[in-house]
Amino acid sequence: MLIGEVARRSGVSTRMLRHYDSLGLVRPTGRTVGGYREYSDEDIRRIFHVESLRSLGLSLKQIGRALEDPAFEPSTLVGDLIRRTEDRLRREQELLERLRTVDASTSHGWEGVLRIVELLRGLSSPDAARRQQALLGPNEDVPVPAELLAGAVLAEADPNVAGALRWALARAGGDGLRGLSPGLRSEDVGIRRRAVLAIAEMSGDEATAVLAEALGDPDPTVRAQAALALGSRGETTAVPALVGMVVDGTKDVEAGEVLGALSSDPGCADRVMSALTDELAAHTADSAVRIRLTQALAEMPPGIARDALRDLAHDDDRAVALVASALAAMLEERSG
């Protein structure tokens, strides 16, 4: 079969068939008397093999190796193709997200577009100082999409840059919570910790509801940050978690202070005192836990803490008794 007929039947151009011949990929087995290429049935099958492998994304060099090397393993080639394709898709997804972010700023003209592009480049820098500088750069009057900042918050491990991002997110307005909330469902505990820190700085009922869900997180740091934020908002649902923090020694000083603030409400004070005294009774053999609970009692309103501390001043555990006695005396001095 001559080259023109092969091109018509196979859909491969005569130019490409000549290129295959020059590379040695598909060399026609025969020539006519006039010197024209003549392809056998086996040659045509090889053409279809080449085209099939090209459709998978292989280069002509890789195809030549696959067809000529008897020891070549298809699994190695396919595995490499999968990795390259995944990498390309990742890059294209990043580009798509970047384009969407830029598109959100087009209402502010070229100034807005250039500001977003500049910010995206800065935030992708491997240098933490450069990332922070990008957030504090010029053109702060150009609004930055909250979704962009939320995504950056979840990805930022440097504490200084993360703080700047949370500050920028608070100033950006918009629906930053929507961008942060998925972070609390991440399998990566670092992302969950960054998400709860940022949400804790947001106001509103929706943020409070999201923080309440975080009380069930398996990570104690996430639970602690959510409990502190909720307690600071006057949410009594955080009381068990806050008392648990005192027991465990996780930010126990901060937890005690928040419990004390919550106890300014008489309706909550009884609940807090009951929880603390129950834990004291449950940890009779753990001096460190009982001392932390005693210190937390001192954060309660003096009128309800004084009697509990006086009782603990006679505790069988001498260390607890000494701490309670000192704290009771301090309360007496303040009220006097």
pLDDT level of residue 114 (50, 70, 90 thresholds): low
pLDDT level of residue 137 (50, 70, 90 thresholds): low
Q: What per-residue confidence (pLDDT) applies to 123?
A: 72
Kindly indicate whether the domain formed by 3-72 is annotated with CATH number 3.20.20.10.
no
Residues 302, 303, 308: CA angle, nearest 5 degrees = 80
Does position 124 have pLDDT exceeding 60, yes or no? yes
Distance CA 195, CA 214 (A): 10
Mean pLDDT, residues 233-243: 94
Cβ(52)–Cβ(45) below 8 Å? no
The overall average pLDDT reported for the chain is 84
Does position 98 have pLDDT exceeding 80, yes or no? no
Higher pLDDT: 16 or 292? It is 292
| Residue 130: HSE in the Cβ half-sphere, 13 Å Cα cutoff | 9
Cβ(208)–Cβ(230) below 8 Å? yes
Distance CA 218, CA 214 (A): 9
Cα→Cα distances 308→97, 198, 245, Å? 58, 37, 20
Residues 27, 28, 30: CA angle, nearest 5 degrees = 140
Does position 72 have pLDDT exceeding 70, yes or no? no
Mean pLDDT, residues 29-57: 81
Q: What per-residue confidence (pLDDT) applies to 146?
A: 78
> Where would I find the H helices in 138-265?
146-155, 159-172, 176-180, 189-200, 205-214, 220-232, 239-248, 252-262
What is the Cα Rg of the chain in Å?
A: 34
Residue in 227, 207, 127 with CA at minimum distance from that of residue 166: 207
Q: What per-residue confidence (pLDDT) applies to 261?
A: 93
Does position 43 have pLDDT exceeding 90, yes or no? no
Task: Look at residue 56 and give its three-state secondary structure.
Answer: coil
Does position 191 have pLDDT exceeding 90, yes or no? yes
Does position 68 have pLDDT exceeding 80, yes or no? no
Mean pLDDT, residues 151-159: 87
Cβ(46)–Cβ(63) below 8 Å? no
Does position 307 have pLDDT exceeding 80, yes or no? yes
pLDDT level of residue 99 (50, 70, 90 thresholds): low
Element (H, E) at 31: strand 30-31
Cβ(321)–Cβ(312) below 8 Å? yes
Does position 120 have pLDDT exceeding 90, yes or no? no
**134-138, 156-160, 167-171: least confident range:** 134-138
Does position 108 have pLDDT exceeding 60, yes or no? no
Higher pLDDT: 286 or 27? It is 286
Amino acid occupying residue 76: T
pLDDT level of residue 312 (50, 70, 90 thresholds): very high
Does position 212 have pLDDT exceeding 90, yes or no? yes
pTM of the model: 0.64
Distance CA 44, CA 17 (A): 11
For the chain, the domains span 3-72, 105-222, 234-336
pLDDT level of residue 143 (50, 70, 90 thresholds): low
Q: What per-residue confidence (pLDDT) applies to 115?
A: 67
Q: What per-residue confidence (pLDDT) applies to 219?
A: 95
Does position 249 have pLDDT exceeding 80, yes or no? yes
Amino acid occupying residue 297: L
Q: What per-residue confidence (pLDDT) applies to 320?
A: 93
